[in-house]
Amino acid sequence: MGRVLTDEQVDSYHRDGFLVVPGFVGPQALAELKAAAERIVDEFVPPARPTVFTTNEQERVSDREFLASGSRVSCFFEEEAFLADGSLRQAKLLSINKLGHAMHDLVPEFQRFTYTSDLAGAVADIGLTDALALQSMYIFKQPHIGGEVGCHQDATFLYTAPVTVTGCWFAVEDATLENGCLWAAPGGHRTSLRKVFKRLGGPGPEGDDAGTEFDVLDTAPLPTAPDDLVPVEVPAGTLVLLHGLLPHWSDVNRSSTSRHAYTVHCVSAAADYPEWNWLQRPAGMPLHRLDSPANEEASPR
Ligand code: FE2
């Protein structure tokens, strides 16, 4: 696998816990991904009780759909999507918080975008030479109602022993202070994991309604947003690599422009992946290495 990042970029990643790589993806690939995401929303028929996404733990909806979404393509509404009478405040296309969490293996456009030698190379350059693509999200951060994502460490939600989860965050649209860009705590990855999010009721991708809980590992507080964080304003096409222990956050979007982003979270194939992780894939749907040739096993299922 050829080098993708420079020595300076690799050093910067290990120093800060994140790395901004401008111009990683071209406009055509972004347009294809965005069109696929919008097609999924267009075809989505909301259930009678829609699933809302929030990372604010008191309000987290850990319902069956969420727990099953590790091997599906699910649509999650913004918390503020609905008016008091239950109708949508904005058009459906402007009401979805995110898609998750297996588009990278189920949707050809996402698969092509994800399994590239460039991304596999970049991730290998920062030390993850046996990366498995575990989870994907398409985040809309909708105009006016785009929700806050509370300060967190990704290893809380995708745990391996040792911690190997690495976030690959792509700006599909420009991310600015106004529309809710990422914020990160430079160097904050050289710290402890504060808590883990566990599926209750045993393993299995579906069929348990026991819900989830947080186990606190270290009561040291995470940095306070936004005071202890720095904004990561980036143009469309930028890749941001995020260490699994790096505290990061994003604000609400009250602006009139959306802030679409696509994330892929990878883990080392050699690390232990406990069966209490919320995300469990069925036996017939194994994870694939990031450097797998795209589309080889990629016919639509
Ligand atoms: Fe995150």
- Specify whether the CB–CB gap between 267 and 131 falls below 8 A: yes
C-alpha of residue 243 to centroid of ligand 1, in Å: 10
Torsion of CA 8, 9, 11, 12, to 10 degrees: 110
C-alpha of residue 295 to centroid of ligand 1, in Å: 27
> Which residue, 215, 118, 224, is CA-closest to 168?
118
- Give me the chain's average pLDDT, please: 91
C-alpha of residue 82 to centroid of ligand 1, in Å: 25
Domain annotation covers residue 299: no
User: Please, which pLDDT band fits residue 286 given cuts at 50, 70 and 90?
Assistant: very high
Domain annotation covers residue 222: yes
> Which residue, 175, 233, 238, 257, is CA-closest to 27?
238
Number of domains present in the structure of the chain? 1
CA distances from 194 to 37, 154, 227 (A): 33, 11, 19
Mean pLDDT of the 32-48 span: 93
The predicted-structure confidence for 89-98, as pLDDT tens digits, reads as follows 999 999 999 9
Domain annotation covers residue 300: no
| CA gap 103, 108 in Å, rounded | 8
C-alpha of residue 85 to centroid of ligand 1, in Å: 32
Domain annotation covers residue 1: no
Tokens of 58: 């008191």
Mean pLDDT of the 94-123 span: 97
C-alpha of residue 182 to centroid of ligand 1, in Å: 9
- By CB atoms closer than 10 A (0-12, 13-18, 19+), residue 210 is exposed
Element (H, E) at 249: strand 248-250
Backbone dihedral angles phi then psi of residue 98, each to the nearest 5 degrees: -165, 165
Tokens of 289: 């290495």
Domain annotation covers residue 301: no
Domain extent for 109: 7-291
C-alpha of residue 152 to centroid of ligand 1, in Å: 6
C-alpha of residue 186 to centroid of ligand 1, in Å: 15
C-alpha of residue 6 to centroid of ligand 1, in Å: 25
Output the domain CATH number for residue 27: 2.60.120.620
Domain annotation covers residue 296: no
pLDDT of residue 288: 97
pLDDT at position 146 over 50: yes
Domain annotation covers residue 71: yes
Domain annotation covers residue 297: no
| CA gap 117, 242 in Å, rounded | 19
